[in-house]
Amino acid sequence: MLFEVEGISCAKCSDKIHQALTTVDPTAQVEVDVDAGRVRVEGVLAKEQAIAALGGAGYPAKSAKPHSGAGSDCCGGCS
């Protein structure tokens, strides 16, 4: 899952986001792109759980477009 997240400005924010998400799903893999304001999460938590955890930590979030962001190999054909 990829989210656009408000208020990310530093490594400390990244740590808080990681902690908030892994509290809900200890097995979650969390990748925070501070510069882009995006968070990628892979785990068993639902999208709604991730958004709630991020919001609860002070980082309002919404789903980002699929196949967007750094590392995407999207061809643009399925949008």
Q: Give the domain ranges of the chain.
A: 2-63
Residue 6 has pLDDT above 70, yes or no: yes
The predicted pLDDT at position 79 comes to 47
Q: How far separated are the first and last CA of the chain, in Å rounded?
A: 16
Quick check: 54 and 20 in contact, CB under 8 A?
yes
Structure pTM? Answer: 0.81
Burial 31-54 (b: 16+ CB within 10 A, else e): bbbbeebbbbbebebeeebbbebb
Residue 39's nearest CA partner among 26, 29, 48 is 29
Kindly report the CATH class assigned to 2-63: alpha beta
Quick check: 1 and 46 in contact, CB under 8 A?
no
Residue 74 has pLDDT above 60, yes or no: no
**Which DSSP state fits 1?**
-
pLDDT digits (tens, 9 = 90+) for 27-72: 999 999 999 999 999 999 999 999 999 999 999 999 987 665 555 5
The predicted pLDDT at position 59 comes to 97
The predicted pLDDT at position 35 comes to 93
